[in-house]
Amino acid sequence: MAIKENILNIRSSIPDYVTLIAVSKTKPNEAILEAYEAGQKDFGENYVQELVDKYGQLPKDIHWHYIGHLQSNKVKFIAPFVHLIHGIDSLKLLQQVNKQAQKNNRVINCLLQIHIAQEETKFGFDLKECLELLKSGELQQLANVNVIGFMGMASNTSDETQIRKEFHALNEFQKSLVTNKHPLNVLSFGMSSDYKIAIEEGSTMIRVGSIIFGEREYRKQ
């Protein structure tokens, strides 16, 4: 395994302000520890049970990012420790995170997932819905969640122009909100295949799995 080298290579090719999240879903603890030893502290997981198990077994200074689709009834399992929830796609889910955060005496950082891809299957708010939510004042009611930005996934296509256009649209949306009282300055987009384009289009947080850990053997969902 060349996990350490992969981490160092990616780090040296991205600006300092960009957070590299090593997406470790389906990968064993040994692989995560190898990345950790290369100084990697931010890891991303998609499945609640897997994340809870890994949290229990691995060093406590790891920042665990939940990047999958989150069901309201599972929030309670990750609320005690999760560092950032990327895929908030409804007010109902955000309210549940708030409730569970309160129980744990925490404020949980969250990103609103925006649907930027052409495919119907990807989760998230469309821009209009998201704007309505931001203007509604609902977020200010939730004392135990801190919405700090947006997450997006580009279409699953090799058409770079299309991918760039989708990232660009999310960046433009975020820039149009600068007058908002809340600093929504985190932009989580870009994966193994498109992180370079993502950074050119304003990403501040990239979620990279296969080019660090190798291809995944199985893929749920």
| Stretch of 7-15, 74-82, 161-169, 203-211 contacting ligand PLP, by CB under 6 A | 203-211
Position of minimal CB gap to ligand PLP? 209
Residue 35 binding ligand PLP, by CB under 6 A = no
Residue 207 in the binding site for ligand PLP (CB under 6 A): yes
Query: Which DSSP letter does residue 139 get?
Result: G
104 interacts with ligand PLP by CB under 6 A: no
- The 10 Å Cβ neighbour count of residue 125 is 20
Q: How many residues bind ligand PLP (CB under 6 A)?
A: 13
Check binding of 191 to ligand PLP (CB under 6 A): yes
Does the protein bind ligand PLP through residue 157 (CB under 6 A)? no
Are the CB atoms for 14 and 212 separated by under 8 Å?
A: no
| Shortest CB 95 distance to ligand PLP, Å | 22
- Sign, CA torsion 89/217/40/193: negative
Q: Which stretch binds ligand PLP (CB under 6 A): 75-83, 134-142, 162-170, 202-210?
A: 202-210
Query: Is residue 203 part of the contact set for ligand PLP (CB under 6 A)?
Result: no
Vertex 172: Cα angle to 170 and 174 (nearest 5): 70
Residue 210 interacting with ligand PLP (CB under 6 A): yes
Supply the DSSP symbol for 206. E
Which segment (8-16, 124-132, 159-167, 191-199) binds ligand PLP by CB under 6 A?
A: 191-199
State the Cα–Cα distance between residues 65 and 87, nearest whole angstrom.
Answer: 10
Rounded Cα gap, residues 43 and 86, in angstroms: 12
First to last CA, the chain: 26
For position 51 contacting ligand PLP by CB under 6 A, the verdict is: no
The token duo for 81 is 């420790």
Binding residues vs ligand PLP (CB under 6 A): 23, 25, 46, 67-68, 153, 191-193, 207-210
